[in-house]
């Protein structure tokens, strides 16, 4: 929501979710290039500020959120491809270009593109040297 944009990170988007609900929400957020993690409610409620600050710093520096380069190699032409494009790319539809996304999103994209018979290559910037 717009009010979340005004808050200092990290922010709790929603509490009281089941594990499955949290995973689904995290999937939807990373599909839109929004970096998120889910932390059990009791950790947030019982963790002191120093611990939570350290936890956030550790999570923020995870390789999962490093920028990665995605190149589209083989993209089949079928309805499932259209669903893939809508889910992960939105307006970025030029599949001849490379895109830069968080590594977590690139991993998920790689998983789903294989399921529809396509392929991408994923490179972390550190791997490009």
The 10s digit of each residue's pLDDT in 75-89 is: 888 889 889 989 998
d(CA 41, CA 16): 7
State the average pLDDT for the chain: 85
pLDDT of residue 7: 63
Is the confidence at residue 8, as pLDDT, over 70?
no
pLDDT band at 105 (very low <50, low <70, confident <90, very high): very high
For the stretch 10-57, pLDDT in tens is 677 888 999 899 999 989 999 988 888 888 888 888 988 899 889 988
Q: Output Rg (C-alpha) for the chain, integer angstroms.
A: 17
CA distances from 63 to 49, 67, 87, 106 (A): 24, 8, 23, 12
pLDDT of residue 127: 59
pLDDT band at 129 (very low <50, low <70, confident <90, very high): very low
Say if CB 63 and CB 124 are below 8 A apart: yes
Is the confidence at residue 118, as pLDDT, over 90?
yes
């Amino acid at each position: 929501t717009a009010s979340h944009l005004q808050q200092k990170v990290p922010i709790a988007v929603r509490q009281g979710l089941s594990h499955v609900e949290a995973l689904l929400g995290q999937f939807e957020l990373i599909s839109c290039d929004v970096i998120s993690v889910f932390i059990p409610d009791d950790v947030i409620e019982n963790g002191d500020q120093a611990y939570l600050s350290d936890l956030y710093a550790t999570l923020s520096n995870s390789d999962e959120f490093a920028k990665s380069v995605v190149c589209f190699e083989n993209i089949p032409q079928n309805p499932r491809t259209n669903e893939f494009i809508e889910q992960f790319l939105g307006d970025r539809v030029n599949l001849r270009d490379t895109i830069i996304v968080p590594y977590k999103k690139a991993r998920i994209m790689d998983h789903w593109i294989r399921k529809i018979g396509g392929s991408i290559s994923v490179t972390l910037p550190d791997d490009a040297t």
